[in-house]
Structure 1
Amino acid sequence: MRTLTTAGRTIVADIPVNRVVSLPEIDIDDLAQVLAGEPGELAPLVTRVPDSCNSPGAFAGAAVAELERAAVGLLPAWLPGTGESRPDLGGLAAARLLAAELARRGRYPRTFLTDLAVLALTGRRPLAAPLPLRIRARELARLVAVAFGRRRTVLLVEGGDGPNGEAVVAGAEWLVSSGGPAVWLLGTTSERVPAVRVGMPAGKGSVAVAGRPHPGSTVEAALEAALALESWATGRRWNQDYRSNALTPPVRLDLWWPAERCVVEIDGPEHCRPDRYELDRRRDVRLTLDGYAVLRFTNARIIHDVGAVVHEIGTFVRAQRRDTAEGNNHGRR
């Protein structure tokens, strides 16, 4: 395996994006958090190689499917105005018009954007054949980057060091050469992929202080700045531990209102990992059983539409206070 740098370590901002590289000595979640939390040009998307990826085409197809799932989940960040759209005929017609206008302004294929908007709103795919994989890889990578306010998407891939490693590398090279996302392979070793040894930023390793936004999170800082202007937002707590009872391990909550039994979780790119997604769902179930409501927001939505996020949280918190005042919270602890 070739080493791209001969002296010292490159910094994250200097990792190449025009070729597939291997990052053998860095944790994928740490890297995703650094890329998401700092200003820069890259929107990170974390994925794991499925066991079925035994050919370059299979890996490329799985990567494009992951990009599509991300784009669907990021609506309305890339298509403002669809946040309240309903999946009825009127709502879909309005979403199609918005998507067509965005396609014109952003020079996307029109059918690509309109079909994606319908998929995001209804879960239904069009009957027509999809665009070629090369075009979908390129346009989805562009769209995910736009949703995060970045210039390019980078796919952070783990699990490519198994028996299908060479197929993964070839598929990744095809994605990059097709104008799709940058691809960085975590832990993969291959003679055809240069290795980059990365030095993490000096701020990496900072920890959240209970009661305050995380010092390394621009997203938490932005949400706190917006909440500080709202009179109803009193009683909030940042980054504090919660446990159901003395026998259960504590969990760290991003933001919560204990009296109103409202938990707000902020999902960065590391939450796309299958194991992290499953862990998040278990936490949500536990909190729901304890009488809490869990509101989840992606980094991209907070960055692009913090006003709507604050409004949604405020609507719930104020409703809880009204119910408590009127004695209607019989079902909650």
Structure 2
Amino acid sequence: MEVRLQSRSSAVIGLSELGERVTRLAAGERLTITGIGVDEIRQALTTSQAERPALILPTGRSTEVILRQLIDDLAELALGCWPRWYGQDCVKPDGLPVLPTGRSDVSAPWFRAASKRAAAGYAPVFRRIARSIAFTQLMRAIGPHDPILVALIDPVDAARAAPLIQVLEWCAGQGASVVALFPSRPAAVPPFERLLYGAIAVVATAEPLLTRFIAPTGQAHHASLIEQRVAAALQQDGELGPLFACNQTVALGGYGNPRVDLLWRDGRIVVELDGPEHQADPNFANDRHRDYELLVAGHLVLRITNQQVSTDLQAAVEKIRMVVRFRQSTLNIQS
């Protein structure tokens, strides 16, 4: 997938660049992206091989419910990281907790209480301390880099979106890097308008026609005139017509189920009709690899170029006939 950042540039960029843009967010910085959801942002961060973690915010009917669940989530993550907090080991050789070095932003009282609970196997959650302290200390403990907080916000239902937007703004106010995702651009009305300034609109590039068209089983691809010509010639041939079907899938076990141009299933013969786009990599290399997969699965592969069909269709048919007769002789198949 590729995306276009409409608000800043007309250039098409990949998901890895989008992921890098997100991971470069500074403390307290907020980014709004419209046109994608959680799956796309996850793919973007994965593709960019970001070292910085991200957390999808929980949803809820109120700000209080969401914040409570967020603190619980961060505490569970911190428990899973213990004893490696802040990107360093926080226990002495004798097993006792030790404050991280070079971290003036770590609360010593919180660390002592939290490390004691984590060492005992409990999530470091303390309901009586200020929520802002719990939030910032847990965010820092999870790793050397604070996680990016990502919220998927309903672009239509303002009442449903409002609590999540408030939580996102609160987190940014505590110094977190936050990302607001809208599957589609919402109207510039409360509470959405607060997030829309400087928003990035992401537009997925359209897939090529041939990848969006699903050909009927057993028929030549509507967009391939060459396949139609060869299929028609084979159908008119008394010997070859009953054998071949067009656009068939071939089960190759662990190699998948590729679709081939022409297939004689019983005789395990595959005929591929190659246009000029198959003469260079990556198509050329991909074709050779698929030929290998078909070969080890017991299929003979005959490749005929579109130019050969256009120049002498009957010669192409005769090539297919000779391969069929060779196969029949080796497998003792009667025509």
- TM-score tier by shorter-chain length is 0.3 to 0.5
Greater RCO, 1 or 2 (C-alpha within 8 Å, sep 6+): 1
